[in-house]
Amino acid sequence: MQYLRRHLDDHLARLLEVHPACLVEGVRGAGKTSTAERLAKATLRLDHPPTAATVAHDPDASLASLTRPVLIDEWQRHPPVWDAVRRMIDADRTPGQFILSGSSRAAVTADVHAGAGRILPQRLRPMTLSERHGRAPTAKLANLADQGVDAVRGLRSAFTPSEQVAATVESGLPGYLGMRPVDHQDALRAYLDLAVARDRADVSSPLRNISKLRNYLRAYGATVGTTAEHATIHQAAGVSKATGETYHDLLCRLGLIEELPGWSHNRLKRLTRRPKRHLVDPALAAADHYDTAASLAGRRERLGELFESVAVCQIRATAAAAGLGWRFSHMRSAGGDNEIDLVADLPDGGVVAFEVKLAETADAADARQLAALRDRLGEAFRAGVVINPGTTSFRIDDRIAVVPLGVLV
């Protein structure tokens, strides 16, 4: 199968030029092994029982003779290998020695935190639009911070409006590309079944009722792109508050949930801190609720929520893979009258803000929240972007532009 380049490829290569080891983490099927293998000169697959048995007996010896960089795939199958890598790095800080990859976020343990400063984590998320089609984005997100909306004016999306909206029901997990819609959705539901039945065991003690966890995940998927109360999800799933909080933490550790925290700023008061609900891939939520392109055509509110989630997830993925260091959140006033879907705090104190609209056309009325934020932040406001599934980018106000999703991701 032809390898489709990932945004993370170049950034990961640069990191290995200065760091002894990197951890490539992410959900099952995100493409971690394929991405890491391109940079490795030797591979230890700990999902291969004979290899795992050898490493379990003597991890230091298993690693010592291999040509660097060494990929240790599915490292969480034998966690002591982490300590072996850490010891070797303590003895030799030469860059580019190890790449670890794992399907779950089992890294949330004290033992793994001991790798701080030695093993640099990087998250590989499902493919963005350009990655799925083997193209580079038309514009770089970093240029919005450096050049403002002039960096995108007049640029055309490489993808049609329907292709951009299709990401609401078509997953970016590499192994699911190109399937017939009905097979695609069946496969995604089976993927979620497997995640809660099998991957959960990597990060949690045994659960007595897997079906309740699965119900919670399905109830959560109904809220993507919204700030739904956690109690609402608990009620829909038929679980108690304590159980729901346990399930929420577990799904976050599995990487299936990627919530967007509420934004805070000293120039704006009374902002809600409630997060917006997102899955790592909105198409998983669509499949779990049997939302198809045809059924969503008559449910614009649900389609809009899914498209917002697509934009948020793919912009976050693109920025993270480029190593921009942007911190993302959403803005919503306590009364709900002021809302911006995605706010990026830049390392230098600047802000880039995104408002997502499902319509293929947009005007100044769609940017009023961005304009209000610009006026409050002054020079710290670098760019405001109305994201839509349109064809061409254009400026509609000072430091504000309408930009098709396909231009940026």
Residue 61: per-residue pLDDT? 87
Q: How many CB atoms lie within 10 A of CB 347?
A: 10
- Residue 85 sits in the same domain as residue 231: no
Residue 80 lies in a domain: yes
Residue 3 lies in a domain: no
- Residue 357 sits in the same domain as residue 310: yes
Q: Mean per-residue pLDDT for 250-265?
A: 91
Q: Is the pTM of this model over 0.85?
A: yes
- Residue 236 sits in the same domain as residue 385: yes
* 8 A C-beta contact, residue 70 and residue 63: yes
* 8 A C-beta contact, residue 279 and residue 50: no
* 8 A C-beta contact, residue 25 and residue 105: yes
Residue 96 lies in a domain: yes
Residues 395 and 265: their CA atoms lie apart, in Å, by 26
- Residue 119 sits in the same domain as residue 34: yes
**Which among 89, 123, 157 is the end of a domain?**
123
Q: Give the percent of the chain with pLDDT over 90.
A: 79
* 8 A C-beta contact, residue 38 and residue 13: no
Residue 210: per-residue pLDDT? 86
* 8 A C-beta contact, residue 327 and residue 345: yes
Averaged confidence pLDDT in the chain: 91
Residues 80 and 60: their CA atoms lie apart, in Å, by 10
CA angle 99, 100, 101 (to 5 degrees): 120
Residue 161 lies in a domain: yes
Residue whose C-alpha is closest to residue 399's, from 379, 384, 380: 384
- Residue 115 sits in the same domain as residue 239: no
Listing DSSP states for 209-265 in one string gives -HHHHHHHHHHHHTTTTS---HHHHHHHHT--HHHHHHHHHHHHHHT-B--BPBP-B
- Residue 188 sits in the same domain as residue 337: yes
- Residue 99 sits in the same domain as residue 149: no
- How many domains does the chain divide into? 2
Residue 114 lies in a domain: yes
Residue 108: per-residue pLDDT? 44
pLDDT tens digit string along 85-140? Answer: 999 999 999 999 999 998 655 544 435 545 556 899 999 999 999 999 999 899 99
Residue 2 lies in a domain: no
* 8 A C-beta contact, residue 226 and residue 309: no
Residue 310 lies in a domain: yes
In the chain, count of helices (H) and strands (E)? 18, 11
The 3-state DSSP class for residue 136 equals coil
Residue 264: per-residue pLDDT? 81
pLDDT tens digit string along 302-355? Answer: 999 999 999 999 999 999 999 999 999 999 876 666 899 999 999 999 999 999
**Which among 101, 123, 145 is the end of a domain?**
123
- Residue 110 sits in the same domain as residue 241: no
pLDDT class of 73 with cuts at 50, 70, 90: very high
Residue 109: per-residue pLDDT? 47
pLDDT class of 267 with cuts at 50, 70, 90: low
- Residue 217 sits in the same domain as residue 360: yes
Beta bridge partners of 73: 45, 101
Residue 403 lies in a domain: yes
- Residue 135 sits in the same domain as residue 116: no
Bond before 80 cis per omega within 30 degrees = no
- Residue 289 sits in the same domain as residue 351: yes
For residue 18, give the CATH number of its domain.
Answer: 3.40.50.300
pLDDT class of 78 with cuts at 50, 70, 90: confident
**Which among 79, 104, 123 is the end of a domain?**
123
CA angle 267, 272, 276 (to 5 degrees): 120
Which residues form the domain of 272?
A: 129-408
- Residue 322 sits in the same domain as residue 302: yes
Residue 207: per-residue pLDDT? 62
